[in-house]
Structure 1
Amino acid sequence: MDLLALSDFTLVARHGGFGRAARAAGRPKATLSRRVAELEAALALRLIERGGRTLKLTEEGRALYERAGQLLLELEHTAAAIASGSKQPRGRLRISAPLLFSQTAMGKIAAGFALRYPEVRLEITTEDRPVDMIEEGFDLVIRVNPDPDDSLVGRIFLRDRLVAVASPKVARPDQSRVPPAVVRSSGDRQPWIIKTATGRSTINIEPVLAVSSLIMARDAVRAGVGAARLPLSLVSHDLAAGTLVSWGDIDAPEIALWTLYPSRRLLSTRVSAFLDYLKESFPSGTADELATFVGSS
C-alpha cells in the first residue's frame, strides 16, 4: 500500500473535503483527488462518495480512516520527536471537556499545562455532547459518566456526588411544607430521595426556577430562591462558610469524570503528559480535592 496516498486520504477525511484539505496543507486539490483515486484503485474499494457538496466516507472509507488516521498522526509526531532528538511533548493537543468542569477548573489546568509544556499547542473545546474523537480530530475527551465504548480507553480521575442544598433562610421540608426548588427543567417535579445518617427520606418539591447551568442554580440557591441538587465540589466552600446548608446526599449514582482516548498503543507524549498532569492536580480524585482546587483559582 502506498503510505503517501493513505496519508493524503486521511488528510482529506480529517478536513472533510478536498478543498479544505488542499487549503490546510497548501497542496493542489487535483493532486489530492488523484492520490485518493489511486488508493481506491489499489484497494479495489470506493472510499469516498463523490457528487455531494460535503465529503461523505463510505463504510469502508470510514473504517480505514478510523484505523489508519490515528496511527499515521502518531507516526508523524514520533518521527518529529526523534528528528528533534527530544522526548519533550510538542505539537497540537485537542481536548473536549464538559461545560461545568471547564468553567470551574479547566482554565487553571490548561494554563499550568501550557506553562510546563510551551511546545504543545493546547486547544480545548467546551461541550457536553458525545463527540466522535476520530471524526472530529480530538486527542482526548473528558466526560461525565460516559456510556461504554469498546473503541476508547478510559480512566476515572475525579469523583463527585450530588447534595441537596439551600440557603439557611429556606425552611427545611417537613410533612406539611413543600420547599421551593431550583431545577434543570421546568417539568422536573420528581421527588428527591435524600440519604442522611438516620436513613433515607423523600422530599417533594415545588419548582420555582428552571435554569440550564449548574452555576446559575448555585447562584440562585445562594440568593435564597430555593433548594437545589448540586455537585458537592461546587458548594463545598459555601457549606463550610455556612452560607448554604446541606439537607443530605442525593440517592443517585456518583458523578465520575473520565478521560477517554482511542488506544493505549502509540499513546502520544502530549496525551501522556496531560494525563500525568491531571493525576498530579488531583492525586486522590475526590470531590473535596476538586473543591479545594477550584477555590484556589
Structure 2
Amino acid sequence: MNLNALIDFALVATNEGLGKASRASGRSKATLSRRIADLEEQLGVRLIERSARGLKLTEAGEMLIARTEGPLGEVIEAMTAAQEGLSTPRGRLRVAAPVLFSQLAMGRIGAEFCAAYPQVSLDVVAEDRLVDLVEEQYDVAIRINPSPDSSLVGRCFAKDRLVVVAAPGIAKPTRGAVRPVPSIVFSNFQPTHWNLDDGRLILEPVPKLWFSSFLMIRDAAIAGGGAALIPQSIAGSQLARGELVQWGTVSGVEAQLWVLHTSRRLAAPKVRAFVDFMCARYLDMSLVLEG
C-alpha cells in the first residue's frame, strides 16, 4: 500500500482540484495526478472523474474519503474496503437512455439486470439530449450513432434500420421516377426524398400529419394516415400481423445503439456488468422493441 498516494488523494479531494492541492502542498500537479493514478491502479477502482469543470469523486472515491478520517489503522481498513467492497457489482447505477428505447425496452431490461445483480439498484432516466455523464452524475449512457468522444468508451450492442411502411389499403408506388406519397412525418420534418432499396424506389414524402414521436407516427400509419419512415424495431409485430406493409429499407442508413461510460482505464464493476449484460442480451445485434 502506498500511503503517500492515499495522502495525496485526500489532499486533492479536500481541495476539490489539483491546482488548489498543488498550491497547498507545494507538490506539482503532475506528481499529484500520478499518485492518484497509482492509487487507482492499486485498488482496481476509479476514484476521481475528470471533466472540463474540474474533478468529482466517484462512489469508490467518496467511500475511501469517508473511511480515512480516523487513525492509520482505519486508513488501512478503508483501502481494503474500497478494494474488496466494490469488487462485485453493487450500489446505485444511473443510466441515461433515449426516450423511445427507455419506454419500450428499459423496463424489462432493468428488472432482468437487477435480478442478475441483486446488490445493484438501477436508476434510468429517459433523455434524448446528450447528458454530461460526469457533471450530471450518470454512470452510463445509451446513445444512437454517438459522435466520437475521447472522454467516453463503450460498445455497440444493437443495430436498427429505417423502413417505410403503410397500411395494406394504401397502394405502393411503382418504381421509376420520384413518386410523391401522402406521408406522416416528424414535427421537425425537412423536405427530402426516401431512397429505398439502393435507389430502386425513390419517394417524395408529402406531409399530411406531423408528430413528435415514432410511436404516434407508427400508429397513424396503421390507421391509414399515409406512408411513414420509422425504425424497423418498432414495426416488427405490426408487420407480422399484417397491420402494416413494408415498402422498403432506406439505403445507406443504419442506427447503432451504444452503451457508453466515462472510465477508459478502470470502470466500476457495476458499469462493466451493465455493459456486458446489454451486449449479451442482443447477441445477434438485432433490435426488436415491443409496444
TM-score (norm 1): 0.73
For 1:135 and 1:221, the matched residues in 2 are separated by 40
SS in 2 for 1:205: strand
Query: What is the aligned partner in structure 2 of residue 58 from structure 1?
Result: none
For 1:78 and 1:271, the matched residues in 2 are separated by 21
What are the within-5 Å matches in structure 2 for residues 14-53 of structure 1?
39=21, 41-42=23-24
Query: What is the aligned partner in structure 1 of residue 272 from structure 2?
Result: 272
Distance verdict in 2 for CA 1:9–1:79, change over 3 Å: farther
Q: How far has the Cα of 1:176 moved from its partner?
A: 9.7
For 1:177 and 1:193, the matched residues in 2 are separated by 11
Query: What is the aligned partner in structure 2 of residue 182 from structure 1?
Result: 184
Distance verdict in 2 for CA 1:237–1:62, change over 3 Å: closer
Larger mean CA deviation between 182-191 and 143-152 belongs to: 182-191
Q: How far has the Cα of 1:124 moved from its partner?
A: 0.9
Q: Which of 10, 35, 59 is residue 4 of structure 1 equivalent to?
A: 10
Which structure has the highest strand share of the two? 2
Distance verdict in 2 for CA 1:106–1:79, change over 3 Å: farther
SS in 1 for 2:134: helix
Q: Which of 51, 65, 70 is residue 54 of structure 2 equivalent to?
A: 65
SS in 2 for 1:158: strand
CA RMSD of aligned residues (A): 3.1
For 1:64 and 1:172, the matched residues in 2 are separated by 54
SS in 2 for 1:151: coil
Asked if the contact 1:188/1:207 (under 8 Å) is kept, the reply is no
For 1:176 and 1:38, the matched residues in 2 are separated by 64
For 2:51 and 2:244, the matched residues in 1 are separated by 51
Q: 1:213-265 CA distances to partner (integer Å, 9 max, x unpaired)?
A: 11111111111101111111110111122111011101242000011111232
**Identity across the alignment (%):** 40
For 1:78 and 1:236, the matched residues in 2 are separated by 51
SS in 2 for 1:253: strand
For 1:247 and 1:78, the matched residues in 2 are separated by 61
Name stretches of at least 5 consecutive residues in structure 2 with no aligned partner: 1-6, 27-49, 65-77
SS in 2 for 1:88: coil
TM-score (norm 2): 0.74
Query: What is the aligned partner in structure 1 of residue 200 from structure 2?
Result: 200
Q: How far has the Cα of 1:78 moved from its partner?
A: 8.2
Name stretches of at least 5 consecutive residues in structure 1 with no aligned partner: 14-35, 45-60
Query: What is the aligned partner in structure 1 of residue 218 from structure 2?
Result: 218
- How many residue pairs align between the two structures? 248
